[in-house]
Structure 1
Amino acid sequence: MNIIINKKVFAAIMITTLILAVVFVKGSADGTIPGSEADPVVTLSYVELKSEQTKYYIDSLIAKNNQDIVDLKTQLEQKNQEILNLQETVSQLSSDKGFEVVLLNKDKTLLSGAGAELIVRSGKVTAIKGTNGGLANITSAKDLNTGDAVVLNNLLISSRDDGRGIKASIDSYLLIRGSYTVK
């Protein structure tokens, strides 16, 4: 009888184990959501969804990089223009350091800018007084007024841009450093 009880107990344990195994397997199979990370089988719709998400992400990165490139090109063009402007300024400053040879034709007037320096090298010219005074003759320490003859090879300085200058009676050569206008 012991053997029969042991067989009955063994059979009950086996049936219980089998039922638990079926419930466990069925529960774990039904517990996963298709397309989730726990699902070992990947569906076509899941792959297509992930592919579209990846494509959108990559496209957004490309668009951002393209915009960054456009911004950098704009900045580069601005910096190149600044460089050109600075080179032009340096060139002007370099040329402003020396005197410029100017031919002032007969009956023409040269109006000097503020800080301009003039030296009459040949010819015959007279001074023109500005609204605030005349040309300063640095060599002779005199202030030249309208009609005063300018001595050759004397350094003249125009302190203001107020209409001061010189007028040529005959063709005359000058050395000028600074701004001026010929009329």
Structure 2
Amino acid sequence: MKTAWKVIAAAVVVGGGILAGSLMNLTAEGAGVTNQPGTADDPVVTKSYVDQAIQQAIKGGGTTTTPTTPTNPTTPSTNEGSGSSSDAVSIVDVKPGQILIASAGAEFVVRSGKAVIYSQDSNGVADLTDGKDITNGGAVANNHLLSFPRDGRGIQVQEGNKYNLTVMVRGGYKIQ
């Protein structure tokens, strides 16, 4: 009789171990389903596809519009240039004494130079990188994304600085 109990106990332990192991395996498989390579959520791609996608992104993603360039970049005017498509990025040089005015919804990134905010009212410009508002005359940190919610606000070269600003612009703008 002792042998029968040993066999039954061994069968219960082995059966319980198999059941517990299969439950743990299901949990492990379910936890990583979204990160499995080769699925629709995480497809495996070839190097040539990635290179082609990068080239399209560099060329503007296949858009047919191109930014408008200034007619005479040496002579400042009130409407020297304007951006075209909201997806196109233009590189704009702002000389001391000029103001780069954004259209509503435009985004600027100051790449070089010392810039300050220009605004006709007390409201400022959203610095999306720092998550704060910069008011009129406030300094702009380089490589920060600025969002202009309304027309009439912009940036200019900091007073006393003799170097140009280099600004990446997405959206409409004009130079005054």
Task: Tell me the TM-score normalized by structure 2.
Answer: 0.49
Q: For CA contacts below 8 A with separation 6 or more, give which structure has more relative contact order.
A: 2
Larger helix proportion, structure 1 or 2?
1
Larger strand proportion, structure 1 or 2?
2
Larger radius of gyration, structure 1 or 2?
Answer: 1
